[in-house]
Structure 1
Amino acid sequence: MRENTPIIGIIMGSDSDLPTMKSAIAICETFGVSWEVAIVSAHRTPEKMVEYSKTAHFRGIKVIIAGAGGAAHLPGMVASLTPLPVIGVPVATKHLQGVDSLYSIVQMPKGIPVATVGIGNGENAGLLAVQILAVNDPDLLKKVQEYRQNLTQIVQEKQTKLEDIGYQKYLEQL
C-alpha cells in the first residue's frame, strides 16, 4: 500500500522469503494499514540493513516484521538497531524445515527482544503488528475485534455443518 506513509515495514533476507511474507502483506491490506516491503539481507547487504533499521522510525514505521531463514540473523540484528518492535518470522528452510530459523530468532540476548511467530506464519506476524498498532487506534482496534468475531463465526459454521452432514461426508469435502 503506497498511498499513505507506510507504518509497517515488512523486510526479508531474500526474495525466496516473499512467499512466506506475502500473508503479512495481505493482512496489512485486509486491515487497511499502510506497509512497505524490502529485501534487506543481514549478510549480503549489511549496510542497507543498518540504514533501514536506524531510520525506520524517522520515516513513520511503527512496527517491523522481519522474515528470515537459515541463520535468520535479520530479525535480531534489526531489533538491536531500532527502537521499534520487531516481529520475527522464521522461514522454512530446505534442510531443517525452519527449526534452525526459529531457534535463531527466539534465542535473543536479554535486552534485545524479538517477538516471534511460528515457522512460516507471516499471517500471524501481520496480525500481531496490527494489534500492536491498534493499542492507540480505536478504529483499528474495532477492526481487530470484528476480525476475531468473524473467526468465531467461521468455526461455528463449520461445527453446524459437521453436525448436519456427519464426519464422513465432512471429511470428503475437505
Structure 2
Amino acid sequence: MKVSVIMGSASDKPVGDKVIKVLEEFGVENELRVISAHRTPYVAKEFAENAEEKGTEVIVAIAGKAAHLAGVLAGISPLPVIGVPAKSSTMDGLDSLLSVVQMPKGVPVATVAIDGGENAGLLAVQILSVKYPELREKFKAYKVRMAEETIKSDEELNQK
C-alpha cells in the first residue's frame, strides 16, 4: 500500500509533512515529491500516467494559489486523488480551496480543508482500509483513542 504526496512547490512541505506523519503512524508506505502543474506539466503528466504501475494507490496533491495540481493529476490518473488547498499569500487560501473543490464533472477530487494535511492523511488511510483490513482495524483503534482523549479533556475541564 502506497500513497504519493505531491506538492506543487517546496513551500508546501509543512503541509506535506503533516500528511506523511499520519501515514507513517499507520505504517503506510509513502513518497513526497514536488511536481508543479504549471512549471513541470510534462513531469506531472508522466507521474499521473505511471503512478498506478509504480505501486501508488492514493494520491494526495497539495497546492496553493491557482491550485490546479489535484485536478490535473485526477484528470489523467484513475487513482483516487485527495486535494489539499494550501494557504497562500492571496485570500488566506480561499482561492486555493475554490480551485481544488470546483472540479468538472467526471474529474472527482476529494478535498480537505485549507492546509488540512492531517485529514488528507487520514482520508488516504480510510480509502486504503477498504482493501487492507489491518488498516481498517488501526483506524478503528485511532477513533477509539480520539474519543477517549476527548472524554478525558472534557472531564479535566469540568473538574476545575
Are 1:115 and 2:116 counterparts? no
Query: Could you list the runs of 5+ residues in structure 1 that have no partner in the other structure?
Result: 1-5, 166-174
Alignment of 1:131-142 (within 5 A): 131-142=126-137
Q: Quote the Cα distance in structure 2 between the aligned partners of 1:19 and 1:139.
A: 28
> SS of the residue aligned with 1:97?
helix
- 1:158 deviates by 0.4
Residue aligning to 1:103 = 98
From 70, 73, 79, the equivalent of 1:75 is: 70
Q: Quote the Cα distance in structure 2 between the aligned partners of 1:22 and 1:94.
A: 20
Q: Quote the Cα distance in structure 2 between the aligned partners of 1:92 and 1:130.
A: 23
Q: Quote the Cα distance in structure 2 between the aligned partners of 1:33 and 1:156.
A: 28
- 1:95 deviates by 2.1
- 1:159 deviates by 0.7
Q: Which runs of 4+ in 1 moved over 2 A?
A: none
Are 1:55 and 2:50 counterparts? yes
Q: Quote the Cα distance in structure 2 between the aligned partners of 1:152 and 1:57.
A: 35
Q: Quote the Cα distance in structure 1 between the aligned partners of 2:96 and 2:133.
A: 35
Q: Quote the Cα distance in structure 2 between the aligned partners of 1:70 and 1:21.
A: 16
Which structure would you say has the larger Rg? 1
Of all paired residues, the percent bearing the same amino acid is: 47
From 6, 19, 33, the equivalent of 1:24 is: 19
Q: Quote the Cα distance in structure 2 between the aligned partners of 1:110 and 1:51.
A: 23
Q: Quote the Cα distance in structure 1 between the aligned partners of 2:145 and 2:130.
A: 20
- 1:35 deviates by 0.2
